[in-house]
Amino acid sequence: MSQQPAPAPPYRPYRQVRAATPHTRAVSCVRFSPCGRLLATASLDGTVALLSPSSLAVIAVLRGHTDGVSDVSWATESFYLCTASDDRTVRIWDIRPVLAGGAQADPGADRCVRVLKGHTNFVFSANFNPQTSSQIASGGFDCTVRIWDVKSGRCTRAIDAHSEPVTSVHFIRDGSIIVSGSHDGSCKIWDAKTGACLKTVIDDKKPAVSFSMFSPNGKFILVATLDDSLKLCNFATGKFLKVYSGHVNRVYCTQSAFSITNGKYIVSGSEDNCVYIWDLQGRNILQKLEGHTDTVISVSCHPTENKIASGGLDNDRTVRLWVQDG
């Protein structure tokens, strides 16, 4: 007899367990480290905070950018962090002393090891190649996607990728290709080595593509557009398989995430100050998390625990932690 797939576990609701205000301006990005031991938060105040993922206590603050920070990405082994800023740079930070703790972990120490310069306008997105901490992709308001060699600090590829600002860049899990989204309404796939455009997934002019990322298994792309819509696309065929809606997303580049620690969910911020959780397969809203007092711009799912972090814009400024009751 053929094995029936196991039914999905019954949905256990998330509840808020912590809220913190580590920044003086809007929180722009929240990202759990792949090791699960730190939560990085970026802000328009120009700083990046490293928080405890359980208490939200500030463990260290990374200072050096001279303007707001829009995006944060961890290298796979959690030793390095890269940040994208309106000061037109990408910075690389060595987080190893923070993870080691003890006397080394001076919370205010300068941990910046590289400043990547080349973008001619705001850098809006940056992402480590998951296979090697020596390569980063970035995208910005100069409409380019840039590929960087971290060791030398050199830009190895500057791709005239879009006709309007690039809102997101993201490597597939094997590091071979990059997806980019843009205000020009397109979403494109690039060869990480050559910089060649391999495929245009969407080319609609309107609405703007506000966010795009590969699924953890590398088979799909999640694309957010500024018409209150999130779509799951099979990028090999170019077919849209699922649409997730009910949230509000018309203005900001709100970041979404896949939750895979207990069932498979799509999680996103929203301009109605809530976090939305959808069933990946069924597309139905499972829960709407209330508590923030401004747009929720970013969410992150813990790599091993059933835990979500979220960050809010200027009228909120909080980082909130939500957990599923065991």
Q: Is residue 307 part of a domain?
A: yes
Query: Based on the structure, what is the number of domains in the chain?
Result: 1
Q: Cα torsion for 150, 39, 20, 69, to the nearest 10°?
A: 20
Q: For residue 91, is it within any domain?
A: yes
CATH of the domain at 63: 2.130.10.10
Asked if residue 235 belongs to a domain, the reply is: yes
8 domain-assigned:
no
Q: 227-251 b/e with 16+ CB inside 10 Å = b?
A: ebbbbbbebeeeeeebebebbbbee
Domain contains 10: no
Structure tokens at 243: 């649409």
In angstroms, rounded to a whole number, what is the distance separating the alpha carbons of residues 278 and 8?
13
Size of the chain in residues: 326
Q: Is the pTM for the entire model greater than 0.85?
A: yes
Q: pLDDT tens track of the chain, all 326 residues?
A: 556 666 666 889 999 999 999 999 999 999 999 999 999 999 999 999 999 999 999 999 999 999 999 999 999 999 999 999 999 999 999 999 999 986 556 777 889 999 999 999 999 999 999 999 999 999 999 999 999 999 999 999 999 999 999 999 999 999 999 999 999 999 999 999 999 999 999 888 789 999 999 999 999 999 999 999 999 999 888 899 999 999 999 999 999 999 999 889 999 999 999 999 999 999 999 999 999 999 999 999 999 999 999 999 999 999 999 999 86
The two tokens of residue 278 are: 């959808």
Q: Which domain holds residue 206?
A: 15-323
Examine residue 6 and state whether it is found in any structural domain, yes or no: no
User: Exposed, middle or buried, 34 (CB in 10 Å: 0-12/13-18/19+)?
Assistant: middle
Query: How much is the pLDDT for 316?
Result: 98
Task: Answer yes or no: is 301 within a domain.
Answer: yes
| pLDDT for the residue numbered 49 | 97
Q: Is residue 72 part of a domain?
A: yes
